[in-house]
A and B are shown apart, each in its own frame.
Chain A
Amino acid sequence: MANEMNYDRSKIRNFSIIAHIDHGKSTLADRLLEATGAVAHRDMEEQLLDNMDLERERGITIKARAVRLDYASPDGSSYVFNLIDTPGHVDFNYEVSRSLNACEGALLVVDATQGIEAQTLANAYLAVDANLEIVPVINKIDLPSADVDRCRGEVEDIIGIPAEDCPAVSAKTGLNIPDVLEAVVHSIPAPEGDPDAPLRALIFDSYYDSYLGVVVYIRIVDGTLRQGDKIRLMSNGATFDVTAVGSMEAFGLKSRGILRAGEVGYLTASIKNVSDTRVGDTVTLADAPASEPLPGFQAVHPMVYAGIYPEDGARYGDLRDALEKLRLNDAALTFEPETSTALGFGFRCGFLGLLHMEIIEERLEREFNLDLITTAPSVIYEVLLKNGERVRIDNPSSYPAPDDIDTAYEPIVKASIITPVEYVGGLMELCQDRRGNFIDMKYLDAIRVELHYELPLNEIIYDFFDALKSRSRGYASLDYELSEYRPSKLCKLDFLLNAEQVDALSFIVHEEKAYARARKLAERLKENIPRQLFEIPIQAAIGSRIIARETVKALRKDVLAKCYGGDITRKKKLLEKQKEGKKKMRKLGSVQISPEAFMAVLKLGDD
């Protein structure tokens, strides 16, 4: 076969592009596709590698994607480039690290107008950890405020890699893109690996296709994989017969019959469920297995949980179907049925982080046309009970009674914030306010500072990112990783409307914050609950102790005082509209709340 003859490992280059959000990673990828002729310019949709509409709109990559490019170098040789795009957000750090492990090198894109940001650093460290050769690419040099020399200096001083001769480009205009292609050839090493050794292939992504089953993206580290082979997944021992192997081209999959050490490609094997093909797992041959899997596999666990309910209770089944469809492609999404007296039937969903949650919500609403009510996001707490049992709590409603608790633990993250120096004061105040524990502060250069804090995760998941942006006029950037669980004084805050507890409004909060949050939410409820015929007391409680109260006054006036000269229709239309509005209300005990009001309350930040 032609492919067998084409295999020349020394001509393969496997690399990723890493960058801080908005520094132009996807645009650079597009230019590389164009420059290698994988895509003609006229076919170019902006950001081709980002497949989902949502990704294109938000300008972020949610899932990794990969593409093979054939590059004819001016030196006369032909090269095979495998470009592996990575998610740019901290929620998907694990996926980033696995994608990087499939590569020998990384292009580190730095915006010439912004310089190095928190995720630039975080991603660069991930690349260093994965032993990648890092090639800096200074981007956006077409912009008037670009400062290429400063950027080179930062890369050398802060990350510690030479940048004197690195490509300086404009991905937008295409300027100096050939420099990038040559840098890939000359700076990034060819892959190693023995095609005759037992098969070890790293899974770095997968997605569900309704015709092919799960399509698994792999990097062959050792050995050879052929169509027809029986494979085994080393984490769970599941075996499958390979129906196809090949490469990812710009416009789809291309079956090639064989993949060998050093190559990047896909396999299909009539796999029904993406959760069988976990990112980071090792594929080997069932008949001649490798003795050891590749290092670094972890099952990813959700960090943030929230209840998701259909606004219209009748659409519970549609919501379940939609979640199942999304899970086909997203092994990190978990959900279990949950019932709430306030919201009816819904699902407790687990997410990698807030962004992941927002993306899932948005996809449910957009792609499946659902109107949702989402409860306040919660992290996972651990509680040591007095009876010695240790339980994990992902739902406030299952939080143990105060008397049963010996010690409660909450997740702590290590956060790194990079900010222009003038905002340091405000951001330190913010971190302090969010129960942060200052670790250190480093000057990156004359004008920028990197702050390190330990912060409770539950302080970050509400609106920390927004607060960070608003206190730094958008300049500060954030990266964090989970560090440990620590003992903490936590309590469950409940809300009662008209003396009846509303389960969907409960949340777990640190004691110090309980009063302020209780007051804030009680006020918010008061503003958002429409007046009804009776007075509605709103109470916030910890256990049986009421710590805040407000009252929604009774409706006094709702009357059409004048019935116009015989125009009955007009009055009737008014009542019809009113009845329609009431139908959308959620009945919480005796109190009615509109979904909009519910959302306004649940989307609480500590503003």
Chain B
Amino acid sequence: MKQKKPLGLYVHIPFCRSKCDYCDFCSIVPNSNSVIEHYTDALILQMEDNSARLRPYLIDTVYIGGGTPTSLDEKRLARIIENIYRNFKIAKKAEFTIEANPATCDAKSLRRLRKLGVNRLSMGLQSVHDNELRALGRIHTFADFRDTYEAARAAGFDNVSLDLMYGIPEQTEKSFSETLSAVTALEPDHISMYALKIEDGTPFARRKDALVLPDEDAQFSMYMNGVEYLASRGFERYEISNFARGGKYSAHNLKYWHSEEYFGLGAAAHSFIDGERISTTRNIRDFIDGLEIVNNDINVIDSKVAVRGEALADDYVMLAMRLSEGVNVADFNAKFGIDFNEKYGVLLDDYVDDGFVEKDERGYRFTSSGMFVSNYILSDVLGLDEE
């Protein structure tokens, strides 16, 4: 039997109970069950449309993200998951993640998810301080979170990731270090620690001038102290914003950063497959109509671009440099037939002396301070539009 190729599968659930003030992800607060029902139907139609295409692949990571996937009722969520198994070949040991927000799931629903094969939870906590959670427009308190977290452990989830944020309104360096110590005391398996970014079109962007946010220097110390503290508690920073204990990296996200193939289902989902980057419409109505009425996957595609050669090499470097391991020069040269040192290395060398980049016989990687200014450096180093 022919060996199947590995593939990551992403499924987008664009619904939330309420919209956070900073969020610009594709998600809506549904005003009726009908839109959820239609979306679920469309999603399943899209799976069926792609079932044959993905037959040569063995899916070894599944990631259901949102929005808030757990804001769906148990029955619909179960239907979606069952259809994933029905339409695609999922590896026995696949990492199967679902994003879960506190107060949208309970012991019962978590047990059911676990039974359906979900083995990893990614929970949005953001902060342990209720005033900061309110300032972000979150609907839960830290106490709510703890209940859900304990229910998840009780339901048998032995791989739980928590999302934290720094640079948020009302936060101080002290309150952030309190968040870190309270969170590590819960002994999660994985932590994502993101800087708040004010995105255009969000409520935060509209009242940007009124927001009191920690400045750049404060955010820098939060990050650096965070990295150091988490290391002391056994969390290895393996990507700019991601930390794992006991080697429990996010296998799905690593596919993005390793430029491996993945396939996205649902509105606003992205795929990288057969050398093409495909994005799906962000408009939920268009997504539903495209699949239900025309019943053809092609109608929901927003863009489809073949990426190859130097552009692909740029992407690879941009993504690999997010990782602590950085770029392995030998791997890169073999993969692209381009001399890494000649094209990128000479430019990265400029940043070695100042301690932003580390270089050895294996390759190049950012230091912590380099990661924190990585856009600045990458915009110098990558060829980008010059190609």
Contact = CB atoms under 8 A, between A and B. Distances in A.
Contacts of A579: 379-380, 382, 384-385
B109 interface: no
A559 B240 contact: yes
A582 to B, nearest CB: 6
B373 A558 contact: yes
A564 B314 CA distance: 18
B264 A566 contact: yes
Interface stretch (A153-161, A260-268, A569-577): A569-577
Contact of B371 (A559, A571, A574, A580): A559
B375 A566 contact: no
A565 B65 contact: yes
Contacts of A446: none
Given A555-B376, A572-B384, A561 B270 contact: no
B373 A567 contact: no
A558 B374 contact: yes
B330 to A, nearest CB: 23
Contact of B272 (A533, A562, A566): A566
A556 interface: yes
Interface in A542-587: 553, 555-569, 571-572, 574-576, 578-580, 582
A557 B219 contact: yes
A559 to B, nearest CB: 5
A568 B377 CA distance: 17
Given A534-B354, A563-B257, A579-B382, A568 B315 contact: yes
Given A563-B256, A563-B257, A565-B10, A557 B216 contact: yes
Given A572-B315, A572-B318, A565 B12 contact: yes
A580 B385 CA distance: 9
Contacts of A562: 192, 194, 197, 241
A569 B195 contact: no
Interface string B302-328: 010100000000110011001000000
Contacts of B382: 575, 579
A571 B379 CA distance: 11
B217 interface: yes
A574 to B, nearest CB: 7
B318 A569 contact: no
Contact of B372 (A559, A563, A566): A559
A565 B264 contact: yes
B262 A533 contact: no
A564 B380 CA distance: 22
Contacts of B277: 568-569
B279 interface: yes
A568 B256 contact: yes
B270 A578 contact: no
Contacts of A561: 194-195, 197, 240-241
Nearest to A569: B277
Nearest to B356: A533
B64 to A, nearest CB: 11
A568 B272 contact: yes
B329 interface: no
Interface string B216-229: 11011001000000
A575 B373 contact: no
B194 to A, nearest CB: 5
A571 to B, nearest CB: 7
B217 A556 contact: yes
Interface residues of B, number: 49
A257 to B, nearest CB: 64
B384 A575 contact: yes
Interface string B329-341: 0000000000000
Most chain A beta-carbon contacts within 10 A, residue among B25, B216, B376: B376
A193 to B, nearest CB: 70
A220 B376 CA distance: 69
A568 B373 contact: no
Contacts, number: 110
Interface in B328-387: 351, 354, 356, 371-380, 382, 384-385
A509 to B, nearest CB: 34
B256 to A, nearest CB: 5
Contacts of B220: 556-557
Interface string B1-32: 00000000010100000000000010000000
Nearest to A582: B379
B148 interface: no
B90 to A, nearest CB: 18
A575 B379 contact: yes
Given A534-B354, A572-B318, A575-B384, A566 B195 contact: no
B159 interface: no
A565 B269 contact: yes
B100 to A, nearest CB: 16
B127 interface: no
Interface string A37-75: 000000000000000000000000000000000000000
A270 to B, nearest CB: 51
A582 B385 CA distance: 13
Contacts of B12: 565
A575 B270 contact: no
B375 A558 contact: yes
Contacts of A556: 216-217, 219-220, 372-373
Nearest to A532: B376
Nearest to A579: B379
A565 B270 contact: yes
Contacts of A580: 385
Contact of B318 (A533, A559, A565, A571): A571
B375 A559 contact: yes
B271 interface: yes
Contacts of A553: 217
Contacts of A569: 277, 279, 303, 305
B270 A557 contact: no
Contact of B379 (A531, A557, A563, A578): A578
Contacts of B270: 564-568
Contacts of A557: 195, 216, 219-220, 223, 372-373
Contact of A572 (B264, B314, B374): B314
A566 B217 contact: no
A556 B373 CA distance: 6
Nearest to A575: B379
B279 A567 contact: yes
A579 to B, nearest CB: 5
A582 B347 CA distance: 15
A565 B270 CA distance: 7
Nearest to A560: B375
B375 A574 contact: yes
A533 B354 contact: yes
A558 B314 contact: no
A561 B219 CA distance: 12
A572 B316 CA distance: 11
Interface in A126-145: none
A558 B241 contact: no
Contacts of B315: 568, 572
Most chain B beta-carbon contacts within 10 A, residue among A574, A576, A580, A582: A576
Contacts of B318: 568, 571-572, 575
Nearest to B163: A562
19 contacts: A531-B216, A533-B351, A533-B377, A553-B217, A557-B373, A561-B197, A562-B192, A562-B197, A566-B10, A566-B262, A566-B264, A567-B279, A568-B270, A569-B279, A569-B303, A575-B382, A578-B376, A579-B384, A580-B385
Of all A-B residue pairs in the complex, the 5 with the closest CB atoms, nearest first, are A556-B220, A566-B270, A578-B379, A561-B195, A558-B376
Given A559-B195, A572-B315, 5 more contacts: A533-B377, A534-B354, A553-B217, A562-B194, A575-B379
Interface of B: 10, 12, 25, 63, 65, 192, 194-195, 197, 216-217, 219-220, 223, 240-241, 256-257, 262, 264, 269-272, 277, 279, 303, 305, 314-315, 318-319, 322, 351, 354, 356, 371-380, 382, 384-385
